[in-house]
Chain A
Amino acid sequence: MGNGIWKLHARASLREAPDGDGGILLDTFNAAICSCNGTAWTVLKAMQKGAKVHQIVAKVRKDFEVDKNDAERDILAFIRTLRSMDLVDGG
């Protein structure tokens, strides 16, 4: 995984849940819907404008109590999943 900027692809559309706890990621290309918890939502919002991994980690650690290494490992795994779905560019 590169150290560059990760940005959500234009085909990914984000909709926040009415109660503000997470939301859904809609892949507009195939209408696939992914439900996201609060942590995933923070990562996706960070990537909407584009962000480096360390910036995303900082955002997540600001909102959630999590160890830096655990956060980085989980965020990288999440980015890998998004990349396999063609929903993220960069790195």
Chain B
Amino acid sequence: MADRIRVALTGFAGLDTPEPGTGVAQALRKGSRGNLEIVALGYDTWQTGAWLPGLVDQIVVLPPLASGVYSILEKILEIHEKTPLDALIPNLDLEVPLFTRLKPQLEKAGIQTLLPTQESDFSINKTSLARFCYTHDILSPNTVHVTDLEEIPMRADHMGYPLMVKGSVAGAAKVDNSDLAQLEATVLHAKWGGGVLLQNCIDGDEYVVAMVARVDGSCLGMTPARKLGTNKFGKAVVGSVVNAPDLEKTSLEILAKLNWRGPLELEFIRSRVSGQYYLIEINNRFPSWIMLSAYAGSNLPVALLKEILNPGQRRCQKPKVGTSFVRDVRDFAVSSAKLRELERHGNIEITTQPNRTRRNRKRKGAVVGVTGISAFEEVLAGCGVAESLRRVPEVSCLIGLVYGPFDTAAYRNNTFDVIQQLPGKDDADKLLDRLLSIRAKSGLDVIIPCVDFEIRRFFDIREALENENIKVVLPSQKAFEARSKERLFLKKVNRDWGPLQIPQATTLRKKGDLKIAMENQGFPLTLKCETSSVHVTLNAHHALSVFRQLRDDGHESIVAQPFVHGEEYSFSAICADDHSVVEGVLIKKLCKNETGKTWGATCVDNPYLQDSLSEFLKHLKWTGPVEIEMIRDFQNDRFVMIEVNPRFPAWISFTRSLGINLPQMALRMALELDNRSPRQIDRDRIFMRSCTTPPADPMDFAEIATRGILNHGS
């Protein structure tokens, strides 16, 4: 790519199920030599991938897809008129047919694309794929498209379990019974429409192949990989390039039958019984893990762009086998003025450069261990705490304490000096032995526990650790017990907390309790456990399914509360030994994922509420870090407490961007250092989070899994 090239990409949203545009942009950036401008096209301002520092040059908000092809064309031509675009790469399933329709107009204006025909695209969409496989004799699991949801239990029972329930466009869930099948089908149909697909599960390993087809349908390049770790959404969190000739042969045979042009992804399961590859899905775009092709030396987005601009490119070289990725997250802050500009004008130029910071070597300070450094299923608080403590002068060595090789932040070699594995979930004595052995080898002055399930274990060994001069940043056990959901919501607190409201709840010990709660509280009804996500149920059937699932998962204490409508807020603070709040930050959640976790937020100032929260924490006799989550009831404007977490929240690195680094302050308290210097909050900051797919070395997986240690320092 010699001259300056300007390419428009879509697909920068999706939060924890990231759309592929972010990966495509990163791969293009990696393959360009400063001659590339990227324009991110999306449908709202919260395309958090596009805001990643240094990734794109311009963000544009398009009219919604539902407004029709011509309003989208009009917007693209408007951008093109101001600064001409050379190429456009759509990265969302629903957009590909739309841009195929617009291809003549785009090309007439000078914007090149490489897209399949409408017939090819239609033949592989989720509802047509079973027919395509049957027609072309391609091995695939039994799949039926059900449009009448009342038929789900009967069809599901007929097919047998386990069974995959898939949305007509995206989304999938594995189910074991007809209740769950019905529940998942209802959710997926409500989201995507068009009914759902029921697909028999094949027992085996998952393989994926990213490909690019030239304009004549031939293969320009392919990257085959195995999913080594998948999260609850079935998305690859860890993957590795493989050298599987039969998989490549099968993929090329399928490509030959597709008459395809442009990028695509084939998904397979290799049967554990027969060793054969079953095609389970074809996607008409690159996958979100496409950066793997760039790490492996076979950069498919670059190959695609070259093919778009100069058709007839030579076949890409084979990707380097064993190259791996781990999906992680990156938290950052952007200017609130820029976000507002995008909201109001639908278009902004970005000039931010990527942060290129290196770890300081040979620093003076404490050796600090942080747990909860994973974004595998959800982003744990340790990820944010570690980013807050990266390169602060009080830390000489930052240790990431992990529970396995797939704790995804373990591979942040710019954040951690060393990774140490902790023993499993139950045994406190083993945990103590391991921590003391770490202390003996590399030193350990302070531990900041960041995962709910481990906190009781740390209470059990806190005294023994402190006898060895290892400080543990936790509240007192008494305060910890007082904030448990059962104690907090079931005990009548005869006190007026001002704008803060502590709602009542019902404990559910048996099915009959749930029936009473449903009768008394109506719907939506919130079901919560001590250490799991909150479930908002919409009807009796839904509530019963969730209740059964929670009981089956081993949760004994389930509480029910009426759902409160309103904006969500979160307050994180650290309390001194006299239980006063040393410093606190109140945020309003602006962007949440499907499980309610914060992916975008702004800092707000509400002294009246903050005073009440401080009073409440004093009442609990709190010390150390805390997070209080609230919903501002839209009917009466009161802040209804949802939860009190005995640790920092995952968004905590935002406090560093605001200029009041709470983890650093908590560390200073633990080290008995002064914390009294005045602080100014930089309010022109918006918190954002995006998924990233950094490279990982298989050797590092093995180091953690077998030796329990990974040294980033040398």
Q: Do A and B bind each other?
A: yes
Q: Which residues of A contact B699 (CB under 8 A)?
A: 15, 17-18, 23-24
How many A-B pairs fall under 8 Å by CB?
47
Residue of A nearest to B705 (CB): A35
Q: Which residues of B contact A11 (CB under 8 A)?
A: 243
Nearest 9 CB-CB pairings of A with B: A31-B240, A35-B706, A28-B243, A35-B702, A28-B321, A31-B226, A24-B702, A26-B322, A33-B698
Q: Which residues of B contact A29 (CB under 8 A)?
A: 242-244
| Partner among A13, A17, A18 whose Cβ is within 8 Å of the Cβ of B322 | A13
Q: Which residues of B contact A26 (CB under 8 A)?
A: 321-322, 698
Residues 1-56 (chain A) with a chain B CB within 8 angstroms: 11, 13, 15, 17-18, 23-24, 26, 28-31, 33-35
Interface residues of A, Cβ cutoff 8 Å to B: 11, 13, 15, 17-18, 23-24, 26, 28-31, 33-35
With A11-B243, A28-B242, A28-B243: A33-B321 Cβ-Cβ less than 8 Å: no
A-B contact pairs, 14 of them (CB 8 A): A13-B321, A13-B322, A26-B321, A28-B242, A29-B242, A30-B226, A30-B270, A31-B239, A31-B240, A31-B324, A33-B702, A34-B702, A35-B705, A35-B706
Residues 214-251 (chain B) with a chain A CB within 8 angstroms: 225-226, 228, 239-244
Q: With A and B bound together, what is the CA distance between A19 and B56 in angstroms?
A: 40
Q: Per-residue CB proximity of B483-497 to A under 8 Å, as 1/0? A: 000000000000000
With A11-B243, A15-B699, A17-B699: A31-B705 Cβ-Cβ less than 8 Å: no
Q: Which residues of B contact A15 (CB under 8 A)?
A: 322, 698-699
Q: Which residues of B contact A30 (CB under 8 A)?
A: 205, 226, 242, 244, 270
| Partner among A18, A23, A31 whose Cβ is within 8 Å of the Cβ of B228 | A31
State the interface size on chain B (CB cutoff 8 A): 22
Residue B406 at the chain A interface, CB threshold 8 Å: no
With A15-B698, A17-B699: A28-B705 Cβ-Cβ less than 8 Å: no
Residues 695-713 (chain B) with a chain A CB within 8 angstroms: 698-699, 701-703, 705-707
| Partner among B205, B242, B244, B698 whose Cβ is within 8 Å of the Cβ of A24 | B698
Q: With A and B bound together, what is the CA distance between A13 and B707 in angstroms?
A: 20
Q: Which residues of A contact B225 (CB under 8 A)?
A: 31
Q: With A and B bound together, what is the CA distance between A13 and B240 in angstroms?
A: 14
Q: With A and B bound together, what is the CA distance between A28 and B698 in angstroms?
A: 11
With A15-B698, A15-B699, A33-B701: A28-B322 Cβ-Cβ less than 8 Å: yes
Given contacts A23-B699, A29-B242, 18 further A-B contacts (CB under 8 A): A13-B321, A17-B699, A17-B703, A18-B699, A24-B698, A24-B699, A26-B698, A28-B242, A28-B243, A28-B321, A30-B205, A31-B225, A31-B226, A31-B228, A31-B240, A31-B242, A33-B701, A35-B706
> In angstroms, how far is the closest chain A Cβ from the Cβ of B714?
8
Residues 494-519 (chain B) with a chain A CB within 8 angstroms: none
